Chain A
Amino acid sequence: MRQPTQRAPVPPGRRPVVALGVVVLVALTTSACSSAPLAPLPVPLPEVDAWPAAPQRGAFLGLHTEENDSRSLDALFFEPGVRVARVVENSPAEGAGLTAGDVVLEIDGHPLTDPAELEARVAERAADTTVALTVRRGDAVFDVPVRLVSSGDRPRGADVGAPLWLLDPARSRAGWNDAGGGVRLVSASPGSPVIAAGLPLGAVVTAIDGESVRSARALVRRLQARDPGADVTLTWRHAGAETVTELALADSPRRVTEFDVPILWSYSADPDGDAARLDIIDLWLFSLFSYERVGGERTWTLLEFFEFSSGTGQLAE
């Protein structure tokens, strides 16, 4: 069965911003005109392998601990307990109020001196059980009950190497994460071409231009390797149906950054639009008229003698 093909509307960013009259003027006067350059983009990279990471077993507490040592090799000694080096965000330990620098003296009445012992005692416990930690903070010692969770419930993204999604602000203007056999659309900005093309949030893209895609990083890299405004075909599935959609990638509007007609006219502007300058009849030492804008400040000058400026700045004591 042939899959349906849709044609997405052209995003507004593709419309030319340089007026036709300006183009004609440039051609007639052989003046210098340039616009903000586009950064060169990479060719598509191969699929990126997922990093192998050891699966977590047993219950999960959310503490990274170290020996309670003197922190000095020249004067090394050990004190009872294990020192909390880091607390995993959104973990049971954080919920119980533990912070880095605390010293866990005991777990369920067993004195601790080795971080591995704490890990072992937590790992052998079942999820949804409560352990009693004896904790020293400063000169105060207190008991802290912590309800453990399953290792499978540990917060994602809490450790290195587990991004929630990857953002592509340039071509698709959307966020993507890995899904089974494809890449899921999880967020999109209002001007996103994939939303304009009809992809709903949660859609899983399985191929670009017929080539399968397995990871969010690979999808983002392939999209970024295309020219702004290029046409791509996405194969995606949602609610059990598979669809092929052709769409045009986002394209940043081009801005005239320089436009010179020697002596008569000189215009220059920042690519980001924060500053601009216009000179008319520029005789090097002075000009007939000049206009300059930097941020909200504007200055008009006539024959270098008459100057008028306005701005949005304010004085503050």
Chain B
Amino acid sequence: MIRLVLPLLLAVAAAPDAADAVSFVEHRVTVDGEIFDRQFVDVDGDGTLELVVAVATRKGTDRSRRELRIHAFDDAGRLQAEPRRSIVVMDDVTTYGFADLRSEPGLELFFMTPSGVFSYSPTRDGYRDNIARLVETPMFFDVPDGGSMPLWRYVLPSGTPGRGDALLIAEKDGFGLWGGAPDGPYERLSHFADETVAGALFETRERSSMSAGRDRMRFDFDASGGILLEDDEIPTLSLLRTRRSIRSPALVDVDGDGRIDMLDRDQDGLAVHLAQDGAIPAEASRVEPRPEYLDGKIERTLFDLDGDGDMDMVAKVTSGSEGLGPALIRLLVLINDGDRLYPETPDQVLRFEAHEIRFQLSDVDRDGRLDLVVAKYEMPSLLDVATGFELRRNQLIFLGRGETPFERQPSMRNESIFDIESLQAALVGRYLEEDLSGDGLADLVEIDLDGRISVRRLQRDSGWFGGETWSIDDQAWQRFDARGSITNLVVRDVNADGLGDMISHRRDTLLLLLSRRTDR
């Protein structure tokens, strides 16, 4: 027996840790000016992503000008230092985006101006014989701004041969859905009236600003597939300007038929515009009234929780907050049955008594189902403040297992207590989304106020009697004194090696920490 067990134990003890075979290579893109934005897009359609950096450059030029620089990855997953293409953006462009608009392979760029939309092929240099007008209509955003370069995300993939991707654009008098044959001018497929445009603001993670008339407006998009729908007006930092906003409808597959539908707000309810015949009708297919259980301050996030292709919802409902005391915060899980987004009763309710919670949905254990990661913050009471400041942060993971969308009890609790001296350690951005170490579990990426990035590994230990213990390492597995920015760290696999990478940018420097497997 010992002869059998001992070699096995030794083999297990000597088994190399997957994380030992992973390292990170630091890349920097430094510009003579300012970085507005960076995106990873498969521009050429070869299945790998390209880095698109929107910059304003000034040094050595006769004027400040905006450029889009496209960097490619080589076969080894390394980013090319020299941009494959640098595209000078014309002065009257308000925003840009990527879509399949021509019959040639890959995606094209589109530029929006006050008078409409133009397509541009990034495979060729220059504008001569390379620019074509797609849409001619007065646009809502009619003041080009040399100090910004927002990305327009409202693209509906066509999926139909002989048709280009459709574009949902903000026209002067409402939203318009435009589409048509590749290479040719587009026609308006649907028009959504003015009252749809002027409304509340949907708060999302990615924010862009554009200008119309004398006002500067914030236009918000979502980066992760879901969209946060905010009921309340968000106060702006602008002091002397009238704040206006336009509503951001969500372009998602509501009914799971593989076509992108439009989800919009209709007073208190949700207006669902189901796609038909390659277009989205202006008339709502149905309006779902707001259910009574959605009372209080609400944030709604759309995700496909059950994997059936349609969008489900997680609603964060905050109520009962008075003074400095904690609030009752509920996370309502609402599963879409194909016919309605709002069920009669929530499919699951998670209750928290806290001052704030932040949640994200990611596949922590890589089993194909989304898990719920919650950070719960508890502030001290007034009495506690008199005796000593204390902030508690509890990181919880509810795994997506079993019959219910998420397990009723968290599989992991990781509590940290901060006093006034260590408060700065609590002010970090935390992301538990991607596997960086290659061990099959997501890892916790933290970035502090100074831009230092650290990675701590999530551990899953199986007990002798079938139970599991989850924990987060106290010590960092990787630390990078990399000068990122706490405001815009993105953890995502961009070099297609199956491991998460870290991307952040400051004013003139884009930082990329790209994973590299050394065992291949």
Q: Which residues of A contact B (CB under 8 A)?
A: 39-43, 45-46, 48-49, 51-54, 66-67, 69, 71-74, 76, 78, 84-89, 99-101, 113-116, 159-161, 217, 221, 224
The answer to whether B61 touches A85, judged by C-beta atoms less than 8 angstroms apart, is yes
B278 CB to nearest A CB, Å:
27
With contact pairs A54-B82, A85-B88 given, residues A69 and B30 touching in the complex (Cβ less than 8 Å): no
The answer to whether B23 touches A46, judged by C-beta atoms less than 8 angstroms apart, is yes
The answer to whether A52 touches B125, judged by C-beta atoms less than 8 angstroms apart, is no
B105 CB to nearest A CB, Å:
21
The answer to whether B126 touches A115, judged by C-beta atoms less than 8 angstroms apart, is yes
- Using A46-B23, A48-B26, A217-B26 as known contacts, list a sample of 18 further A-B pairs with CB atoms less than 8 Å apart, ordered by residue number in A: A42-B479, A42-B480, A43-B478, A46-B24, A49-B25, A53-B80, A53-B81, A73-B118, A74-B113, A76-B90, A78-B128, A99-B62, A100-B60, A101-B63, A115-B126, A159-B82, A160-B29, A224-B481
Q: Please measure, in the bound complex, the distance between the C-alpha atom of A76 and the C-alpha atom of B115, giving whole angstroms.
A: 12
The answer to whether B81 touches A51, judged by C-beta atoms less than 8 angstroms apart, is yes
Which B residues are in CB contact (< 8 Å) with A45?
A: 23-24, 26, 480
A77 CB to nearest B CB, Å:
10
The answer to whether B480 touches A101, judged by C-beta atoms less than 8 angstroms apart, is no
Q: Please measure, in the bound complex, the distance between the C-alpha atom of A88 and the C-alpha atom of B62, giving whole angstroms.
A: 13
Which B residues are in CB contact (< 8 Å) with A43?
A: 476, 478-479
Instruction: Label chain A's interface by main secondary structure.
Output: loop
A-B contact pairs, 5 of them (CB 8 A): A52-B80, A67-B127, A73-B131, A74-B114, A115-B126
With contact pairs A52-B80, A73-B111 given, residues A66 and B90 touching in the complex (Cβ less than 8 Å): no
* B492 interface contact, C-beta 8 A: no
With contact pairs A42-B479, A45-B24, A71-B90 given, residues A160 and B81 touching in the complex (Cβ less than 8 Å): yes
Q: Please measure, in the bound complex, the distance between the C-alpha atom of A46 and the C-alpha atom of B20, giving whole angstroms.
A: 12
Chain B residue nearest to A224 (CB atoms) is: B481
The answer to whether B481 touches A67, judged by C-beta atoms less than 8 angstroms apart, is no
Q: Please measure, in the bound complex, the distance between the C-alpha atom of A116 and the C-alpha atom of B88, giving whole angstroms.
A: 15
Chain B residue nearest to A50 (CB atoms) is: B81
Q: Please measure, in the bound complex, the distance between the C-alpha atom of A74 and the C-alpha atom of B112, giving whole angstroms.
A: 10
Closest 4 CB pairs of A and B: A101-B62, A51-B81, A100-B62, A42-B481
A289 CB to nearest B CB, Å:
30
The answer to whether A161 touches B82, judged by C-beta atoms less than 8 angstroms apart, is yes
The answer to whether A67 touches B62, judged by C-beta atoms less than 8 angstroms apart, is no
Task: Give the residue among B131, B480, B481 with the most A Cβ atoms within 10 A.
Answer: B481
Q: Please measure, in the bound complex, the distance between the C-alpha atom of A161 and the C-alpha atom of B65, giving whole angstroms.
A: 21
Which B residues are in CB contact (< 8 Å) with A115?
A: 125-126
Q: Please measure, in the bound complex, the distance between the C-alpha atom of A73 and the C-alpha atom of B134, giving whole angstroms.
A: 12
Task: Give the residue among A43, A114, A217 with the most B Cβ atoms within 10 A.
Answer: A43
The interface size of chain B toward A, counting residues with CB under 8 Å, comes to: 41
Which B residues are in CB contact (< 8 Å) with A116?
A: 125-126
B121 CB to nearest A CB, Å:
15
The answer to whether A67 touches B128, judged by C-beta atoms less than 8 angstroms apart, is yes
Chain A residue nearest to B25 (CB atoms) is: A49
* B92 interface contact, C-beta 8 A: yes
Which B residues are in CB contact (< 8 Å) with A160?
A: 29-31, 81-82
* B27 interface contact, C-beta 8 A: yes
A93 CB to nearest B CB, Å:
11
A73 CB to nearest B CB, Å:
5
Which A residues are in CB contact (< 8 Å) with B114?
A: 74
Which A residues are in CB contact (< 8 Å) with B30?
A: 160-161
Chain B residue nearest to A94 (CB atoms) is: B60
The answer to whether A46 touches B25, judged by C-beta atoms less than 8 angstroms apart, is yes
Chain A residue nearest to B114 (CB atoms) is: A74
* B78 interface contact, C-beta 8 A: yes
A39 CB to nearest B CB, Å:
8
Which A residues are in CB contact (< 8 Å) with B118?
A: 73
Which B residues are in CB contact (< 8 Å) with A101?
A: 62-63
Within 8 A of A (CB), among B93-144: 93, 111, 113-115, 118, 125-128, 131
A287 CB to nearest B CB, Å:
25
CB contacts between A and B, total, < 8 Å? 98
Which A residues are in CB contact (< 8 Å) with B128?
A: 67, 69, 78, 113-114
* B452 interface contact, C-beta 8 A: yes
**Among A42, A46, A52, A87, which residue has its beta carbon within 8 angstroms of that of B81?**
A52
A83 CB to nearest B CB, Å:
9
* B79 interface contact, C-beta 8 A: yes
The answer to whether A73 touches B93, judged by C-beta atoms less than 8 angstroms apart, is yes
The answer to whether B126 touches A67, judged by C-beta atoms less than 8 angstroms apart, is yes
Q: Please measure, in the bound complex, the distance between the C-alpha atom of A7 and the C-alpha atom of B5, giving whole angstroms.
A: 52
Q: Please measure, in the bound complex, the distance between the C-alpha atom of A72 and the C-alpha atom of B92, giving whole angstroms.
A: 6
Chain A residue nearest to B482 (CB atoms) is: A42
Within 8 A of A (CB), among B12-33: 23-27, 29-31
Q: Please measure, in the bound complex, the distance between the C-alpha atom of A84 and the C-alpha atom of B88, giving whole angstroms.
A: 12
With contact pairs A66-B126, A87-B60, A116-B125 given, residues A73 and B26 touching in the complex (Cβ less than 8 Å): no
* B74 interface contact, C-beta 8 A: yes
* B283 interface contact, C-beta 8 A: no
Which A residues are in CB contact (< 8 Å) with B268?
A: none
**Among B29, B80, B131, B480, which residue has its beta carbon within 8 angstroms of that of A76?**
B131
Which A residues are in CB contact (< 8 Å) with B65?
A: 85
With contact pairs A67-B128, A85-B61 given, residues A161 and B479 touching in the complex (Cβ less than 8 Å): no
**Among A49, A52, A54, A100, which residue has its beta carbon within 8 angstroms of that of B61?**
A100
* B91 interface contact, C-beta 8 A: yes
Which A residues are in CB contact (< 8 Å) with B93?
A: 73
Which A residues are in CB contact (< 8 Å) with B113?
A: 73-74
**Among A41, A52, A69, A89, which residue has its beta carbon within 8 angstroms of that of B481?**
A41
Which A residues are in CB contact (< 8 Å) with B62?
A: 84, 99-101
Q: Please measure, in the bound complex, the distance between the C-alpha atom of A48 and the C-alpha atom of B512, giving whole angstroms.
A: 12
Q: Please measure, in the bound complex, the distance between the C-alpha atom of A42 and the C-alpha atom of B483, giving whole angstroms.
A: 12
The answer to whether B92 touches A161, judged by C-beta atoms less than 8 angstroms apart, is no
Q: Please measure, in the bound complex, the distance between the C-alpha atom of A181 and the C-alpha atom of B118, giving whole angstroms.
A: 51
The answer to whether A86 touches B25, judged by C-beta atoms less than 8 angstroms apart, is no
With contact pairs A43-B479, A72-B91, A85-B61 given, residues A51 and B31 touching in the complex (Cβ less than 8 Å): no
Which B residues are in CB contact (< 8 Å) with A48?
A: 25-26
Chain B residue nearest to A158 (CB atoms) is: B60
With contact pairs A42-B452, A85-B88 given, residues A74 and B80 touching in the complex (Cβ less than 8 Å): no
B144 CB to nearest A CB, Å:
9
B254 CB to nearest A CB, Å:
35
With contact pairs A52-B81, A53-B81, A160-B81 given, residues A76 and B127 touching in the complex (Cβ less than 8 Å): yes
Which B residues are in CB contact (< 8 Å) with A40?
A: 452, 479
Within 8 A of A (CB), among B468-520: 476, 478-481
With contact pairs A45-B480, A46-B23, A100-B61 given, residues A51 and B92 touching in the complex (Cβ less than 8 Å): no
B474 CB to nearest A CB, Å:
14
The answer to whether B125 touches A72, judged by C-beta atoms less than 8 angstroms apart, is no
Which A residues are in CB contact (< 8 Å) with B115?
A: 74
Q: Please measure, in the bound complex, the distance between the C-alpha atom of A35 and the C-alpha atom of B93, giving whole angstroms.
A: 54
Which B residues are in CB contact (< 8 Å) with A85?
A: 61, 65, 88
Chain B residue nearest to A72 (CB atoms) is: B92
B86 CB to nearest A CB, Å:
9
Within 8 A of A (CB), among B431-476: 450, 452, 476
